[in-house]
């Protein structure tokens, strides 16, 4: 594999020399560009150096073995080096994958109840709690943007932001239809019911990512209300923003301040517009998202939560775990790690790289 990466160390050294030149330091734009390339290349350069060192050690051990010198020691050394070389090669392969600029972004998550009536709304509330608990485990901050709740505490629709390092890179695989199979608390005869909820995970966009013309917005304010029409407050603090060119509508009534509700609604609108812009630029991504999220029908799903059998099944992986209580309490990393690995394998194959570490 080193012959494919013979450019890495010379380029890394060249960048280091260029950054030390006074004339480069005086050109701030060029200096920042070179520094960025140097920083991005550094992990790969380090991995190539480690890999080359391991190959040298392996060659030395093989020479000792062939010469009949210290054969037991040479054999032990080869056995020690083999998994280290495989892991180092795997590391280089992953570093060659193009970075998704959205991976380090915060996320805006949207949960909507699907088929199943009140039980679907209660399932939506369970999903919202699950993601909140997952965020807490990782030290991320959760901020409610808007929620339409039922009298029993279910979620018809909820929008919330999760802020933290690498949030989108971990949660991006949650977009799609989630299905639950259990006996609802609303069911008196103990009959199991199947319900669904849809989850959308959007990278949060900044103002520099999406420029919105104020003239393209219609902003309506109204009185925020809760369950059964009870007023949360007596002022017109709730905000509804309509983006006229696209027809996108965002509402927010979580805050008592109209200004804060408007700020939150604009954050959600930017995220939706950013995602739409990405979809328009990448037809393949658009098709993938359409397939994932779908309509909320029971036949379309990425994951099933079966409480009677105590299992969670991810249909994309074909993998089932039997720790459903821990999973819905936010202990999701086992499945998320597997989804990340599966995605990496697919991307490695697309690049013509072997993803088995050999």
Class of the CATH-defined domain 107-345 = alpha beta
- Domain extents for the chain? 2-96, 107-345
C-alpha span between 74 and 283 (Å, rounded): 54
Q: Residue 329 CB: number of other CB atoms within 10 A? A: 14
C-alpha span between 180 and 193 (Å, rounded): 8
pLDDT at 281: 66
pLDDT at 244: 94
C-alpha span between 81 and 198 (Å, rounded): 47
Tokens of 173: 């695989």
Series of mean pLDDT values for 10-residue runs along the chain (358 residues): 83 94 91 90 93 94 87 92 92 83 88 93 96 97 92 93 93 95 79 92 84 91 62 68 93 88 92 85 52 46 94 95 96 94 86 55
C-alpha distances out from residue 157 to 44, 118, 124, Å = 43, 12, 8
* 3 class by beta-carbon count within 10 Å (0-12 exposed, 13-18 middle, 19+ buried): exposed
Tokens of 341: 């690995």
Residue 163: alpha-carbon gap to chain centroid: 12
In sequence order, which residues have a C-beta less than 8 Å from that of residue 277 and are 6 or more positions away? 210
C-alpha distances out from residue 329 to 128, 134, 155, 285, Å = 10, 7, 17, 30
pLDDT at 286: 46
pLDDT at 358: 41
Q: Residue 36 CB: number of other CB atoms within 10 A? A: 10
pLDDT at 223: 79
The DSSP secondary structure of 56-78, one letter per residue, reads: HHHHHHHHHHHHTSSHHHHHHHH
pLDDT at 296: 44
In sequence order, which residues have a C-beta less than 8 Å from that of residue 79 and are 6 or more positions away? none
C-alpha span between 354 and 86 (Å, rounded): 12
């Amino acid at each position: 594999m080193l012959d494919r990466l013979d450019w890495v160390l010379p380029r890394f050294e060249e960048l280091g020399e260029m950054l030390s030149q006074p004339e480069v330091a005086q050109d701030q734009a060029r200096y920042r560009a070179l520094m960025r390339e140097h920083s991005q290349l550094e992990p790969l350069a380090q991995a190539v150096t480690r890999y080359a060192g391991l190959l040298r050690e392996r060659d030395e051990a093989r020479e000792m073995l062939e010469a009949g010198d210290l054969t037991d020691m040479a054999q032990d050394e080869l056995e020690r080096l083999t998994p280290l070389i495989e892991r180092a090669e795997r590391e280089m392969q992953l570093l060659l994958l193009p970075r998704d600029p959205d991976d380090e972004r915060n996320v805006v998550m949207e949960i909507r109840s699907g088929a199943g009536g009140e039980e679907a709304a209660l399932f939506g509330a369970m999903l919202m709690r699950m993601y909140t608990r997952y965020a807490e485990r990782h030290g991320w901050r959760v901020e409610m943007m808007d929620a339409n709740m039922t009298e029993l505490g279910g979620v018809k629709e909820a929008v919330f932001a999760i802020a933290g390092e690498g949030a989108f890179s971990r949660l991006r695989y949650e977009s799609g239809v989630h299905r639950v199979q259990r006996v609802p608390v609303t069911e008196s005869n103990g009959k199991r019911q199947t319900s669904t909820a849809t989850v959308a995970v959007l990278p949060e966009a900044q103002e520099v990512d999406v420029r919105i013309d104020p003239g393209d917005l219609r902003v309506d304010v109204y009185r925020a209300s809760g369950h059964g029409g009870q007023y949360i407050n007596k002022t017109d603090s709730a905000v509804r923003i309509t983006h006229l060119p696209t027809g996108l509508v965002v509402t927010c009534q979580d805050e008592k301040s109209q200004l804060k509700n408007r700020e939150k609604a604009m954050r959600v609108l930017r995220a939706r517009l950013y995602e739409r812009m990405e979809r328009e630029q990448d037809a393949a991504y658009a098709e993938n998202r359409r397939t994932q999220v779908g309509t909320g029908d029971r036949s379309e799903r990425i994951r099933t939560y079966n409480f009677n059998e105590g299992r969670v099944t991810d249909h994309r992986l074909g993998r089932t775990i039997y720790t459903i209580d821990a999973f819905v309490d936010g202990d999701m990393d086992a499945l998320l790690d597997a989804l990340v690995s599966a995605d990496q394998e697919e991307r490695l194959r697309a690049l013509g790289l072997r993803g088995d570490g050999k």
